Amino acid sequence: MKLITAEEARNLAGPSLEDKIESLSKTIEALAKEGRRSCRTAYDHRLDGDLWEDGAYHKINEWKRAKEILEHHGYKVMFYYDCGGQFVDMYTLIEW
């Protein structure tokens, strides 16, 4: 029987939530040094769940956990969704 290791499975699954937040932290730091006070992150289809499953991206578990972590560190986190035309515009706005 062939069973992959837990480490191999983690590598296949992609970055963890902590890895994503660490990467975002570097982006926030760079933007803050430029005098910016906010940033947008695009919808990431690889998050835990399917956007269309329940019709609400903001209910996805990993997004909610990331929001909690960021808000705990003093950030304001909002989900933006606009379907005013042919295309949907959605992103997370993070302010500091």
Q: What is the pLDDT along the chain (96 residues), one digit of tens a residue?
A: 999 999 999 889 888 888 889 989 999 999 999 999 999 887 654 444 444 444 455 557 888 888 899 999 999 999 887 888 888 777 889 999
In a domain, 81, yes or no: yes
How many domains, the chain? Answer: 1
| Confidence (pTM) | 0.72
In a domain, 62, yes or no: yes
Helix axes 17-33, 61-72, angle to 10 degrees: 50
Domain that holds residue 28: 15-95
In a domain, 8, yes or no: no
In a domain, 34, yes or no: yes
Question: How far is 35 from 5, CA to CA, in rounded Å?
Answer: 44
In a domain, 78, yes or no: yes
In a domain, 2, yes or no: no
